[in-house]
């Protein structure tokens, strides 16, 4: 009798897992679930696994099994690292993923022959990966790297001076403490606002009225360009001959047709059209040259 396909797959998976676990040292093979061992045991098993990983060929099933076990066994290190960033609004699940990426890099780069504790090597790598995530992906607007680093320096100086002065330090005091100009301090403090951005769909904070914030914000006045054009055009019109000024006035101020203008001035419609085209071309050239 042939076993069902599902049973065959389960049996094959179990055989593969058993084969991979047989490759592990006795210390780990005896553990029911390597990912749920006590922290003290996890440190010892991590040493064993790292030495084992160094002897395996990258890309093999055995290598992947040992590597993934190391990652899951040491996720507590990542959780410890992200506690330093509790004040940030970034979701903890996102930070856990970023920290896990740093943990993987630490596992891949670690050399057990150097005699260094894995946690001593891995923690700075995990923290560096999380800080890189904050630096590159959590800003609401693009801020140059120089200002991002200056913001961190200013934050530390503010905390240090606030403890010493028992009040918030001024811009001048920050500049003197860091040995930089006051303009640079202001620039760094302004850059800190780039982490968050308010929604234009949200309400106005100053209580100016109901409705979204966008309804209370100013915008460019399109009529200002027209005012500038009129100011520039005025001397050009004044320099035209009287008949051409009159034609412009009748056409654009009185809204008369070319035939009506010709009838009033005793000119043909074609003549009025030529005069009007020539006048407008002259004005256009004068505006472009201004």
The SS3 call for residue 228 is helix
Helix axes 223-238, 269-289, angle to 10 degrees: 110
Determine what percent of the chain is predicted with pLDDT higher than 70. Answer: 70
CA-to-CA distance for 151 and 144, rounded, in angstroms? 11
Q: How many CB atoms lie within 10 A of CB 102?
A: 24
Q: Say which residue the tokens 């500049």 belong to.
A: 175
Whether the predicted pLDDT of 76 surpasses 50? yes
Mean pLDDT of the residues in the chain: 77
Q: Is 228 left (phi over 0), alpha (psi -120 to 50) or beta?
A: alpha
**Residue pLDDT, tens place only, 170-192:** 889 988 888 888 888 888 777 76
Name which of 111, 144, 142, 105 is nearest 126 in CA terms: 105
* C-alpha to C-alpha distance for 77 and 85, rounded to whole angstroms: 14
pLDDT of the residue at 44: 80
pLDDT tens-digit map of 102-127: 999 999 988 888 888 888 889 888 98
pTM: 0.44
CA-based R_g, the chain, Å = 37
For the stretch 251-278, pLDDT in tens is 988 889 999 999 998 989 999 999 999 9
Kindly tell me the burial class for residue 74, based on how many C-beta atoms sit within 10 Å of its own C-beta (0-12, 13-18, 19 or more): buried
Higher pLDDT, residue 101 or 2: 101
């Amino acid at each position: 009798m042939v076993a069902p396909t599902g049973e065959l797959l389960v049996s094959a998976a179990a055989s593969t897992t058993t084969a991979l676990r047989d490759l592990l040292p006795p210390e780990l093979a005896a553990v029911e679930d390597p990912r749920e061992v006590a922290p003290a045991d996890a440190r010892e098993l991590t040493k064993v696994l790292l030495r084992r990983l160094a002897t395996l060929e990258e890309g093999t099933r055995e290598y992947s099994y040992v590597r993934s076990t190391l990652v899951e066994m040491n996720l507590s290190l990542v959780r410890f690292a992200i506690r330093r960033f509790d004040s940030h609004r970034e979701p903890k699940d996102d930070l856990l993923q970023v920290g896990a990426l740093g943990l993987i890099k630490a596992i891949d780069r670690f050399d057990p022959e150097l005699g260094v504790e894995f946690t001593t090597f891995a923690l700075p790598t995990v923290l560096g990966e999380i800080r890189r995530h904050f630096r590159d992906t959590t800003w609401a607007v693009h801020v140059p790297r120089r200002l991002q680093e200056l913001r961190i320096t200013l934050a530390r100086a503010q905390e240090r001076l606030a403890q010493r002065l028992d009040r918030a330090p001024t811009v001048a005091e920050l500049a003197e403490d860091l040995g930089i100009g006051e303009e640079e301090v202001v620039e760094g403090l302004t850059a800190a606002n780039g982490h968050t951005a308010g929604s234009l769909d949200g309400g106005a904070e100053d209580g100016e009225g109901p409705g979204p914030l966008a309804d209370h914000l100013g915008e460019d006045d399109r009529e200002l360009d027209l005012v500038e054009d009129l100011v520039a055009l005025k001397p050009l019109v004044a320099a035209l001959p009287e008949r051409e000024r009159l034609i412009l006035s009748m056409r654009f101020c009185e809204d008369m047709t070319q035939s009506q203008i010709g009838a009033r001035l005793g000119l043909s419609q074609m003549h009025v059209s030529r005069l009007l085209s020539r006048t407008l071309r002259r004005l256009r050239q004068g505006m472009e040259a201004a």
